[in-house]
Amino acid sequence: MARKFFVGGNFKMNGTKESIKSIIENLNKASLDPNVEVVIAPPALYLQLARDTVDKASGVEVAAQNVYHKPNGAYTGEISVAQLKDSDIHWTILGHSERRTLLGETDELVASKTKAAVEGGVSVIWCCGESLEEREAGNTVAVVERQLAALAAKLSAADWKKIVIAYEPIWAIGTGKVATVQQAQEVHEAIRKWLRTQFGDAVADETRILYGGSVNGKNCKDLAKEKDIDGFLVGGASLKPEFVDIINSNQ
């Protein structure tokens, strides 16, 4: 079964009302490959602005950058899955390395959040990836498998229909140091193999695995050709006009 190419834009803690509107208006005007699923993730404060600015005909969806796993209550600063749905937001990023490393999110917390999102009907761009030290020690696949195993402990095979995996080596995020096509494909292949062993052929063949880490308008085409690379999660370049070239990189 062919997997629909997927491109996510992670705006991180960037933008103003004006700049976010302008990025989305550019997307509305652009000619986007209709065979690509596009999801943009502005800061939480601008989710509704983004949702209202996106041209519905473009098919572009809006995602949160985070969501909490508890349904409601005394969790200052957090947003629940139900609140996202109430605001017509049907996607979230979870487990981004910046949240894991800067905010101390553990594999288990990320897994709990992912389960809560999926159960509540919000799809997840679930991120994983190794540090430079872990890569240099030859532990890349072991680290990614550890992150996946924490997630797998909470999920059923059916849950994977609402999850897209983003493999994002930490050393490549925001550094301008993109993984080589071979490095990325190797880890994507290992992730797909792991999915096959743990959850069977359907999950392995249907789950999209994105690459993230310094993707830009120049390096995207070669990465997009690899058989296990089903799209991208893009940080810095999603704020620039070249995001359109990345969306259209699979043409």
Which listed residue (37, 69, 168, 188) is catalytic?
A: 168
Q: Is 7 in the site for ligand PEP (CB under 6 A)?
A: no
Shortest distance in whole angstroms from residue 3 CB to ligand PEP: 20
Q: Is 101 in the site for ligand PEP (CB under 6 A)?
A: no
Stretch of 74-82, 128-136, 190-198, 208-216 contacting ligand PEP, by CB under 6 A: 208-216
Footprint on residues 44-73 left by ligand PEP (CB under 6 A): none
Active site residue 96: yes
Footprint on residues 221-240 left by ligand PEP (CB under 6 A): 233-237
Active site residue 168: yes
Which listed residue (96, 98, 130, 188) is catalytic?
A: 96
Footprint on residues 146-205 left by ligand PEP (CB under 6 A): 168, 173-174
Shortest distance in whole angstroms from residue 157 CB to ligand PEP: 27
Shortest distance in whole angstroms from residue 233 CB to ligand PEP: 5
The four Cα atoms 155, 156, 157, 162 give a dihedral, to 10 degrees, of: -60
Shortest distance in whole angstroms from residue 9 CB to ligand PEP: 9
How many residues sit close enough to ligand PEP to count as binding (CB under 6 A)?
14
Answer for the pair 147, 187: CB distance below 8 angstroms, yes or no.
no
The four Cα atoms 34, 158, 231, 105 give a dihedral, to 10 degrees, of: 130
Among 36, 155, 215, 220, binds ligand PEP (CB under 6 A): 215
Q: Is 214 in the site for ligand PEP (CB under 6 A)?
A: yes
Judged by CB, which is closer to ligand PEP: 7, or 204? 7
Stretch of 55-63, 200-208, 210-218, 239-247 contacting ligand PEP, by CB under 6 A: 210-218
DSSP code string of the chain? -PPPEEEEEE-TT---HHHHHHHHHHHHHS---TTEEEEEE--GGGHHHHHHHS-GGGT-EEEES--BSSSSSS-TT--BHHHHHHTT--EEEE--HHHHHHS---HHHHHHHHHHHHHTT-EEEEEE---HHHHHTT-HHHHHHHHHHHHHTT--GGGGGGEEEEE--GGGTTTS-PPPHHHHHHHHHHHHHHHHHHH-HHHHHH--EEEESS--TTTHHHHHTSTT--EEEESGGGGSTTHHHHHTTT-
Judged by CB, which is closer to ligand PEP: 8, or 145? 8
Answer for the pair 162, 201: CB distance below 8 angstroms, yes or no.
no
Among 61, 212, 223, 224, binds ligand PEP (CB under 6 A): 212
Give the distance from CA 223 to its chain's centroid.
16
Active centre residues (catalytic): 96, 168
Q: Where do contacts with ligand PEP occur on this chain (CB under 6 A)?
A: 10, 12, 168, 173-174, 212-215, 233-237
